[in-house]
């Protein structure tokens, strides 16, 4: 019985230490200049934090890291993408309402890139 309790205590200690490390990522994520890499890696990190929270649900650092991580991920990679798509749809529907098409808009942009003759 004592051995089982000691094993559980060691497990809890390891989870809390890992939680401490994940809760203080420093500037690694913010300093990275590859947003696609961050977008791909963030879900793994968030799921890892979630799984550690199952074992240590009151770990303040993990709770903060989860709340912060999900908020930042949803804003940077979900909300901004949704806003962009919505804007494209609005512009497209307004262009169609005025008898224009997105293709005409693209052609106009291409023409504006050429030097005036």
What's the rounded mean pLDDT across residues 35-39?
A: 88
Helix (H/G/I), strand (E/B), else coil: 59 = coil
What's the rounded mean pLDDT across residues 51-63?
A: 91
Per 3-state DSSP, the chain is made up of helix, strand and coil in percentages (nearest 5) of 85, 0, 15
> pTM above the 0.75 mark?
no
Q: Is the pLDDT of residue 106 over 50?
A: yes
What's the rounded mean pLDDT across residues 64-86?
A: 87
Helix (H/G/I), strand (E/B), else coil: 57 = coil
**pLDDT score for 3:** 45
**pLDDT score for 116:** 42
Handedness of CA 58, 16, 43, 24 (dihedral sign): positive
């Amino acid at each position: 019985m004592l051995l089982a309790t000691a094993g559980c205590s060691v497990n809890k200690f390891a989870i809390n230490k890992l939680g401490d490390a994940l809760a203080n990522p420093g500037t690694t994520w913010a300093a990275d200049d590859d947003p696609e890499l961050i977008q791909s890696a963030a879900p793994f990190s968030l799921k890892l934090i979630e799984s550690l929270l199952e074992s240590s649900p009151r770990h303040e650092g993990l709770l903060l890291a989860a709340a912060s991580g999900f908020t930042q991920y949803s804003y940077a990679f979900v909300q901004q993408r949704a806003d962009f798509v919505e804007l494209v749809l609005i512009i497209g529907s307004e262009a169609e309402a005025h008898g224009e098409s997105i293709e005409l808009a693209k052609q106009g942009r291409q023409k504006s890139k050429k030097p005036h003759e």
